[in-house]
Structure 1
Amino acid sequence: MGKSIVDKDDQLTYLKERLSMFMTVLENIEPENTDLEDIDRLIGIIDELETKVEQFKRSKSV
């Protein structure tokens, strides 16, 4: 596991980078070639982002 992100600016940067990566993946998906496993992975990424947002909201820096 990586080092905890406690600085508010670092937290925001982390979330922006993760969201940008997600958007890139989403933009490059070919709907006709997408299967249930691909969709499950996308949902997993969203769940991870949601978990991080909640963690950051509970931290003392945010």
Structure 2
Amino acid sequence: MGKSIYKKDDQLSYLKERLAMFLEVLENIDPETTELDDIDRLITIIDELETKIEQFKKRSE
């Protein structure tokens, strides 16, 4: 695992980077050939982002 991020600016940068990666993957998906596993992976990425946001919220409280 990576090092914990406590600075708000670093947390925001991390989330922006992860979201940009997610959007890039989403933009490059071909709806005609997308399989259920691909959609499951996208959902997993969103869940991971959500978890990170919650972790960052707790660190700032």
- Give TM class, smaller chain: over 0.9
2:11 is aligned to 11
- Structure 1 runs, 4 residues or longer, greater than 2 Å off: none
Matches within 5 A, 1:12-27: 12-27=12-27
Percent identity among equivalent residues?
A: 74
State the TM-score, normalizing by the size of structure 2.
0.97
5+ residue gaps in structure 2?
A: none
Q: How does 1:1-62 map to 2 (within 5 A)?
A: 1-60=1-60
Quote the Cα distance in structure 1 between the aligned partners of 2:51 and 2:23. Answer: 18
The CA distance in 1 between the partners of 2:22 and 2:2, in whole Å, is 20
Name the CA distance, whole Å, in 2 between partners of 1:51 and 1:58.
11
